[in-house]
Chain A
Amino acid sequence: MVESKKQWKAWLYLAPALVLLAIFTVWPIFNTVRMAFLENYSGLKAAGGETFAFGIGNFKKVLEYKKFVNCLKTTALLCVATVPISTLLALLISVALNSIKPLQRLLQTIFFLPYVTNSIAIGMVFAAMFNIVGSFHGTQNEIIATAGIVNNVIEFFGGTAVNWINSGSSYAANITVMIIYIVWNALPFKILILLGGLQSINKQYYDAAKVDGSTRSRILWRITVPLLSPMLAYVIITGFIGGFKEYTSIVGIFGATMGPPDDGGRLNTMVGFIYDALSTNSQGRASAAALILFGIILVVTLINLAVSKKNTHY
């Protein structure tokens, strides 16, 4: 056949991409699995000629770490809290954006800005906003003088300032800041996708619904949301996947300590745990943790897909 004769050409063209893929994607995946199942594997010791026994000790160790369980808790908490909030907000905002004519372009751009802004930079701005003090080493008087804008607003309305992120702050306050930040950061992408979906819905359905006497909220829940369900499923699934990989947002606000100065690591996440393990040359444990994270994301995504299959409509 002519085609099979030409096949080698196709492979030739594909070769550069395949080679890169093999080196930087396929091999690391294999290597991760290999390292995860070698007891106490360490790259440094391996270079020194040490050999490692095969086993599941890395997984056991990782799961026994209190730190790891904490990371898992924080990650799951952030996921479960932020995905529904950001999805709902994105839905309402995109529906509102879609229904106004003047300034739609401008507002669309404004809502999209966070997407093109570096998330570490955004994190630092948030950190400044939620600061209770300008300097960690200040006296009591300085604390009040340099409060962040959020506390300024709270005090303006007669509330008492909250220690959001500084030494002595509570886990709940920390998580609240993180949720606000992650939701805000996640909105642009979701709005973009949902707005695109909304604009592709045939306007006649809305005319029909109006003639049928639907109220606005009924139209939203009975017409818009079902017609938008494929896009909603997409942003929810990608939201969960992104949520389980949460790391930079914490660094953005709390820095590499992953927590307030007096309790570093308090807000550490799964990915943070993996980085820490790598930095102590425990590639075996890092790989095991990575595989556990992969397993969790896989299961959550499968559940998501199963649920969305039931609820998306065409």
Chain B
Amino acid sequence: MKVVLENLTKVFPNRTKGGEDVVAVNDFSFEIPDGKLVGLLGPSGCGKSTTLYMICGLQKPSGGKIFFGEDDVTDLPPEHRGVGLVFQNYALYPHMTVKQNILYPLQNLKGEDKLSKEEMLKRTVEVAKLVQIDNLLDRKPSELSGGQQQRVAIARALVKMPRVLLLDEPLSNLDARLRLQTREEIRRIQQETGITTIFVTHDQEEAMSISDMIVVMKLGVVQQIGKPQNVYDDPANLFVAKFLGTPPINVFEGEVRGGMLFIGEDPVMAVRNVPDQKVSVGIRPEGFILDERGPLHCHINGVEVMGRDVSIVATNEASLNPVVRSIISAENKVDTSSGTVRYSIKPHKLFLFHHETEERIPFEV
């Protein structure tokens, strides 16, 4: 089931006198292909949950339309949309056992959808097996670990066989290891069921690792939509470039003069077809090459060995971050004796942005 969002907008009126209305989601248009896992990504407060709640029908859009397949569901109440929603803190009913929690959506079915008791139980056990909690059916939510509650919440959302599965920050309450494990689990479940899934997170790594597509949002406005790798390799603006990647991208003040990009006084790279102007320069940590005759000079602060890789922490006058962090293969010998390090730059790991609008400036090498 594909999901189409057309100019979706949500405005929360401000109740305090003289305050401004909050535009939580601003003119969001997007078509989510059938059976894909889409990551909705952005910092806290950028309107991700609001978008999700509008898709599932808990909140009414101020403008725009929502289609599931060809059906306009904009004015449909949640129970008629066929959505499953997993809340950020799961919202499992505390007074019901795991089994009752999963059964509950089925018991609400009416009319021709109504199932027999045996059918309901069968479906419950099936979905419990799918998320691997079939041995916990008689426990109360309070007797489960975070990861197990998570699975129960997914099972409850899946048991009605929804057309669309929505997950609001499903991993944010889990510890680091469980998070890794559970995100793979979500991917597996999504692929086994083939349900179109929208998954909200503020953690770029999470979104990048399991999504077919990601949508990057900022203050209610969509910044970029695409395959994770494409968005990473080809960010539309400085915000997206900064938001994706760990360690984060290094940003410098720079200037283009006569087809040459300068960072400080270092002529870093020839950039053709760019008029002379001030720019912001983004260089991915993996975009630096140790080079004794390289154009970019930095002062070494320290070297961190991280197994296969070495991370060089340095400073540069023109850097907008406190430190310049580069990642190079551990096979390189790093000579720290002189106190300076020189780099040349991989052209496809360097991006130019307009220094005020922060929009991407294309260039030819």
Question: With a CB–CB cut-off of 8 A, which chain B residues contact A215?
Answer: 108
Question: With a CB–CB cut-off of 8 A, which chain B residues contact A279?
Answer: none
Q: Map CB proximity to B onto A197-217 as digits: 1 under 8 Å, 0 otherwise.
A: 000001011011111111100
Question: With a CB–CB cut-off of 8 A, which chain B residues contact A202?
Answer: 91
The answer for the CA separation of A313 and B78 in the assembled complex, in Å, is: 28
The answer for the CA separation of A223 and B92 in the assembled complex, in Å, is: 11
Selected from B56, B83, B89, B95, the residue in CB contact (under 8 A) with A226 is B95
**B54: Cβ under 8 A from any A Cβ:** no
Given contacts A222-B104, A226-B96, 15 further A-B contacts (CB under 8 A): A204-B89, A204-B91, A205-B91, A205-B93, A207-B58, A211-B56, A211-B57, A211-B78, A212-B105, A213-B78, A213-B79, A213-B105, A214-B79, A313-B94, A314-B142
By Cβ-Cβ distance, the 10 closest A-B pairs, closest first, are A213-B79, A313-B95, A204-B91, A212-B105, A226-B95, A213-B108, A208-B91, A211-B78, A211-B85, A210-B78
Nearest neighbor of A229 in chain B, beta-carbon distance: B95
The answer for the CA separation of A91 and B249 in the assembled complex, in Å, is: 57
Residues A212 and B156 in contact, CB atoms below 8 Å apart? yes
- Given the interface contacts A213-B108, A314-B142, does A227 sit within 8 Å of B79 by beta carbon? no
- Given the interface contacts A223-B93, A227-B94, does A210 sit within 8 Å of B108 by beta carbon? no
Sample of 11 A–B contacts (CB below 8 Å)? A204-B87, A207-B58, A207-B85, A207-B91, A211-B85, A212-B79, A212-B108, A212-B160, A213-B79, A215-B108, A313-B95
Residues in B lying within 8 Å of A, measured CB to CB: 56-58, 77-79, 83-85, 87, 89, 91, 93-96, 104-105, 108-109, 140, 142, 156, 160
Selected from B89, B96, B108, B160, the residue in CB contact (under 8 A) with A214 is B108
**A34: Cβ under 8 A from any B Cβ:** no
The answer for the CA separation of A203 and B87 in the assembled complex, in Å, is: 12
Question: With a CB–CB cut-off of 8 A, which chain B residues contact A204?
Answer: 87, 89, 91
Question: With a CB–CB cut-off of 8 A, which chain A residues contact B93?
Answer: 205, 208, 223, 226
Q: Map CB proximity to B onto A216-228 as digits: 1 under 8 Å, 0 otherwise.
A: 0010001100110
Residues B95 and A227 in contact, CB atoms below 8 Å apart? yes
The answer for the CA separation of A226 and B140 in the assembled complex, in Å, is: 14
Selected from B58, B96, B109, B142, the residue in CB contact (under 8 A) with A211 is B58
